[in-house]
Chains A and B, each alone.
Chain A
Amino acid sequence: MPQISQLAETYASQVFWLLIFFGFIFFVIGRGMVPKVMATVEARDSQIAADLAAAEAARSAADAEEEAWRIQSGKQRGEALALISSAKAEAAKASEIRLASAQAKIEARVSEAETRIASARNGALKEIEKVAADAATDIAARLAGVTVDAKAAQAAVKEALNG
């Protein structure tokens, strides 16, 4: 077993070179390079965490914005509806008023026209009575040779006309 048979002559060399090489590994690799590797891992982890947090924040901000937009758009829709309905009501009212005034005007004109017609008819009737009395006087004078008094003729015509 060389481990024991060579122990006396080789232990110093073994220990010495082990300390040299293990010391190199510990100080150069273990303390020099490993922390850098781990720092890289940590930096990556923290960057991922930060990115995730930023994405989360952006998403919640977008959600809040959407919510606000929804509320605002709902409000605006309500306002628009109110505006439309009030405008409708106003327009209806206005058209009603105008209709009413137009109606009143029309009625006034109709009644005026009716009075005009009535007066024209009365005038015409009077004219007819006069013409008919004249004609009756004339007819009586020609046929019967009777001179009829104008007043009597008129009375007779009026009676005949009005029943």
Chain B
Amino acid sequence: MAAEGGKVDPMHQFAIEPMFGTDHWQLAGHNIAFTNSALWMAITTVALLVFVWGGMKRELVPGRWQMAVESLTGFIDNLLAANIGPAGKKYVPYIFSIFCFILFANLLGLLPLTLLGVHPFTPTSHFTVTGVLAIMSFAIVLIVGFARHGLHFFSLFVPHGTPWWLLWLIPIIELISFLVRPFSLALRLFVAMMAGHVLLEVLSSFVIGSANSGPLWGSIVGVPSFLLMVAICALELLVAGIQAYVFALLTSLYLNDAENLH
């Protein structure tokens, strides 16, 4: 929360602030400075690494931590088995990585670290990040589809039972819906994350503003806003999980198209 002149700028939390390497770190002419976004991606990675590493004791009778990690991998495994079938086993590492990266990034971005003076940053609230994830998923779908079925993969655009007199229209619609997939994947996650964070910031600005303008406005506007914030925080935790799940689920559905066509 950047309070500039007593006002909260709800967009400030999405600002990228280079931390180091701004001047020298170049890759093919592009600046690749280590930013707060990169830092939180690193924190996400470390948190996930610690979490999974804690479940690697490989005991026959699992402890709590191992049980948690195993239920997470089992969840991804079941998701793929239900949507793709036995062929889905080989996508477990990718779907697990996507799901856990998004989930951990979402949840870590919600941590109330501002109270300690640290600004949490949610990498998944940037469409640059979600776009890369979506393009990766889409590219994998394309590669798997063409590798498995060759040009026959285009039959995806002609669903079973298409009447012959609609053959000029249906493939176009299917093609468009197919090409929209990476955008819908990327934008859904980005919008959900951003909207929730903006909403929390706006409500917090209500609380601060109304409290500053006196006890009357503070109790009429501030208290309900604060209660709403608490509820929306819970909702945001839910959304963090749901968006990660939706991303993983849709990726696995698209992979099912690529594996099994229709």
The chain A residues found within 8 Å of chain B, CB to CB, are 1-3, 6-7, 9-19, 21-22, 24-26, 28-31, 33-38, 40-41, 43-44, 47
User: Complex formed: what's the CA distance from A13 to B42 in Å?
Assistant: 13
A15 touches B128 (CB 8 A): yes
Are B126's CB and A16's CB within 8 A? no
B219 → chain A closest CB, angstroms: 33
B96 engages A6 (CB within 8 Å): no
Which single residue of chain A is at the shortest CB-CB distance from B76? A34
Decide if B152 is an interface residue (CB 8 Å cutoff).
no
Give A84 Cβ to nearest chain B Cβ, in Å: 57
Contact A13/B70 with A3-B14, A7-B128, A25-B97 known, Cβ cut-off 8 Å: no
Q: Which 5 A-B pairs have the closest CB atoms?
A: A12-B30, A30-B93, A17-B38, A30-B97, A14-B128
One of B12, B32, B125, B136 near A13 (C-beta < 8 A): B32
Nearest opposing residue in chain B for A14, CB measure: B128
Indicate if the CB atoms of A37 and B38 lie closer than 8 Å: no
**With known contacts A17-B34, A30-B94, A35-B93, A11–B128 Cβ distance under 8 A:** yes
A10 CB contacts on chain B under 8 angstroms: 16, 35, 37, 128
Q: Taking the complex as formed, is B228 at the interface, i.e. its CB lies under 8 A from any CB of chain A?
A: no
Q: How far is the CA of A73 from the CA of B55 in the complex (A)?
A: 55
With a cutoff of 8 Å between Cβ atoms, the chain B residues found around residue A21 in the complex are 38, 41-42, 44-45, 101
Chain A nearest CB from B201 CB (Å) reads 13
**Given known A17-B35, A37-B70, A38-B73, contact A22–B52 (CB-CB < 8 A):** no
